[in-house]
Amino acid sequence: MLGAWCKTRTESSKGTASVWGEAGRASLRWLIQRQGPGWTQDFKRHKKYGPVFTVYLGPWRRVVVLVGREAVQEALRGQAEAFSGRGLVATLNGTFDGVFFSNGERWRQLRKFTTLALRDLGMGKREGEELIQAEARCLVEALRRTKGWPFDPSLLLAQATSNIICSLVFRLRFPYDDEEFQALVRAASGIVVGVSSPWAQVRGWDPSLSKAPRQVCTVAAFATQQIQRHQRSLDTSGPARDIVDAFLLKMAKEKQDPNTEFTDKNLLMTVIYLLFAGTVTVSTTIRYTLLLLLKYPQVQERVQAELTRELGPGQAPSLGDRARLPYTDAVLHEAQRLLALVPMGVPRTLVKTTRFRGYTLPQGTEVFPLLGSILHDPEVFKQPEEFNPGRFLDADGKFKKHEAFLPFSLGKRVCLGEGLARTELFLLFTAILQPAVSGLFNIPPAFQLQFRPR
Ligand code: HEM
């Protein structure tokens, strides 16, 4: 059965320029390769078919794939409006809507609302920075309590980032040993593992086969409980304490409007996605960066030397310090580039029939902008599989921006949390790597030795 599904289908439409005719390579292998560093294959395919080709995901889904910086930028930035529709993440089909998955007027309204609500709550301002710095202090305190014993930092990091989004969405912060909070964070992380598995990709071939991961229910139950708490305590004269309050106030204002997008369902869906994105994305990136530092201790030493030189031990890093920490900034950028957290991009659709690179793509066509292929494009980043923070530094050691650094995507649906995520990455990472204040002696950290007779 799988064999039949994986059958390669190539339609050629001689005479007319049609993207469907260029290449139709559907395969389970293609999707599974996307789970790992399969970019070499993409670039080979790109060389054969060009940067725009078609993939059949099973017999039903036909997707246009964009490979490399030029094609993705030309589509998502050059024809931003046409490419602004959201496509399917089949595993979550039917479960999700809200700001992330909606389209048209609903998406426009929810995106505008969420962006403004985050700004009103201090994102991009001093208050937002203080909120993240306070969480960074709690995180470092919890890390110190591990007293040098080896431990898996996944849960703790995800709890720290989750607390930041919970503060913005619900004005709530949880202690790290709270079991209900731990279950919530585990559920949010489980959703990512669920939607990223090769099996989930195969089910994506036919959205009707797809079932939302069970962890969605845990996150939804928590969000519902918090929304109900807000409904009971809402002060209709304002001001909003958090995003849920802001949404409820907007709902009250538009109560008489039969076309309002400020509904219970859209509130729940928007909140669930924010919780999920706020918990998983930044913490995973920091975890990966720490892993790279374990592999490259000389990079860690350079980061810590820069932090000591520029901040001094014990001084909490702030965003204003960023310009004085070019190497640290370069390490974070390079780690994000190498990780390529969302390698296939999030599926888009065309909101109208569009001419693109000589092809006519009908309205509704699904598009996968392969962000990983930009971040690993060998023509932009030489030896892309190497971890080399130097790419983000100029000859004077100053931080150098890269036009192709696009882990947050681009265009009208660019990551809405980009500003928040960048601030969190910088403040949490620098706080973790901040050297401790020296005492009378410099005591080397505890470590374990494994003795194996030869
Ligand atoms: C390292 C961290 C993050 C990365 C790499 C990342 C990446 C992305 C990407 C690739 C997209 C899809 C954009 C597209 O359609 O082309 C996206 C969308 C989105 N992200 Fe993030 N994200 C991160 C953190 C966050 C955080 C912390 C939030 C929470 C506020 C967030 C909220 C969103 C939302 C709401 C969307 C949907 C935007 C829309 O459809 O209009 N993200 N993100």
Any idea what the CATH number is for the domain that residue 163 is in? 1.10.630.10
Mean pLDDT across the stretch 434-442? 58
Model confidence pLDDT, tens digit, residues 279-298: 999 999 999 999 999 999 99
Judged against a pLDDT cut of 90, whether residue 411 lies above it is answered with yes
Contact 372, 343 (CB under 8 A): yes
- Of 336 and 10, the structure prediction assigns the larger pLDDT to 336
- Using the mean position of ligand 1's atoms as its centre, give its distance from the Cα of residue 415 in Å: 3
Structure tokens at 403: 């036009």
Q: What's the pLDDT score for residue 133?
A: 96
Closest to 408 (Cα-Cα) out of 330, 313, 350, 341? 341
pLDDT band at 189 (very low <50, low <70, confident <90, very high): confident
Q: What's the pLDDT score for residue 214?
A: 73
Residue with CA closest to ligand 1 atom 40: 100
pLDDT band at 26 (very low <50, low <70, confident <90, very high): very low
pLDDT band at 18 (very low <50, low <70, confident <90, very high): very low
- Using the mean position of ligand 1's atoms as its centre, give its distance from the Cα of residue 325 in Å: 26
Q: What's the pLDDT score for residue 27?
A: 46
Residues 159, 138: Cα–Cα separation, whole Å: 11
| Atom in ligand 1 nearest the alpha carbon of residue 273 | 35
Residue with CA closest to ligand 1 atom 7: 408
- Using the mean position of ligand 1's atoms as its centre, give its distance from the Cα of residue 353 in Å: 26
Q: What's the pLDDT score for residue 21?
A: 41
Residue with CA closest to ligand 1 atom 30: 417
Residue with CA closest to ligand 1 atom 18: 415
In a domain, 71, yes or no: yes
Report helix, strand and coil shares of the chain as percent, to nearest 5: 55, 5, 40
Q: What's the pLDDT score for residue 442?
A: 53
Mean pLDDT across the stretch 304-313? 88
- Using the mean position of ligand 1's atoms as its centre, give its distance from the Cα of residue 336 in Å: 14
Residue with CA closest to ligand 1 atom 37: 100
Q: What's the pLDDT score for residue 211?
A: 56
- Of 196 and 20, the structure prediction assigns the larger pLDDT to 196
Judged against a pLDDT cut of 70, whether residue 435 lies above it is answered with no
Predicted TM-score of the model (pTM):
0.88
In this structure, how many other beta carbons lie within 10 angstroms of the beta carbon of residue 144? 10
Contact 53, 25 (CB under 8 A): yes
| Atom in ligand 1 nearest the alpha carbon of residue 347 | 15
Q: Give the side-chain half-sphere CA count within 13 A for 441.
A: 3
| Ligand 1 first shell, C-beta below 6 A | 86, 99-100, 111, 273-274, 277-278, 281-282, 285, 341-342, 345-346, 348, 371, 407-409, 413-417, 420-421
Going by the DSSP 8-state scheme, the letter that residue 316 receives in this structure is P
Average pLDDT, the chain: 84
Mean pLDDT across the stretch 249-256? 95
Mean pLDDT across the stretch 333-356? 95
- Using the mean position of ligand 1's atoms as its centre, give its distance from the Cα of residue 149 in Å: 34
Known binding residues: 415
In a domain, 174, yes or no: yes
In a domain, 297, yes or no: yes
| Atom in ligand 1 nearest the alpha carbon of residue 101 | 40
| Atom in ligand 1 nearest the alpha carbon of residue 118 | 30
Judged against a pLDDT cut of 50, whether residue 28 lies above it is answered with no
- Of 444 and 183, the structure prediction assigns the larger pLDDT to 183
Residues 229, 171: Cα–Cα separation, whole Å: 12
In a domain, 2, yes or no: no
Q: What percent of the chain has pLDDT over 90?
A: 65
| Atom in ligand 1 nearest the alpha carbon of residue 114 | 35
Contact 426, 332 (CB under 8 A): yes
In a domain, 1, yes or no: no
Mean pLDDT across the stretch 353-371? 94
Q: What percent of the chain has pLDDT over 70?
A: 79
Known binding residues for heme: 415
Q: What's the pLDDT score for residue 217?
A: 85
Mean pLDDT across the stretch 402-409? 96
Residues 181, 192: Cα–Cα separation, whole Å: 17
In a domain, 176, yes or no: yes
In this structure, how many other beta carbons lie within 10 angstroms of the beta carbon of residue 259? 8
- Using the mean position of ligand 1's atoms as its centre, give its distance from the Cα of residue 344 in Å: 13
- Using the mean position of ligand 1's atoms as its centre, give its distance from the Cα of residue 281 in Å: 8
Model confidence pLDDT, tens digit, residues 173-185: 999 999 999 999 9
Boundaries of domain holding 270: 8-452
| Atom in ligand 1 nearest the alpha carbon of residue 412 | 41
- Using the mean position of ligand 1's atoms as its centre, give its distance from the Cα of residue 65 in Å: 20
When mean pLDDT is compared across 21-35, 84-98, 244-258, 421-435, the lowest value belongs to 21-35
Structure tokens at 68: 């490399």
Mean pLDDT across the stretch 208-226? 79
pLDDT band at 10 (very low <50, low <70, confident <90, very high): very low
- Using the mean position of ligand 1's atoms as its centre, give its distance from the Cα of residue 416 in Å: 5
Residue with CA closest to ligand 1 atom 26: 417
Residues 426, 316: Cα–Cα separation, whole Å: 12
Q: What's the pLDDT score for residue 42?
A: 57
Q: What's the pLDDT score for residue 314?
A: 72
Judged against a pLDDT cut of 90, whether residue 75 lies above it is answered with yes
Judged against a pLDDT cut of 70, whether residue 29 lies above it is answered with no
In a domain, 3, yes or no: no
In a domain, 123, yes or no: yes
State how many domains the chain has: 1
Mean pLDDT across the stretch 363-384? 94
Query: Best of 348, 350, 415, 426 to mutate for ligand 1, by most ligand atoms within 8 A of CB?
Result: 415
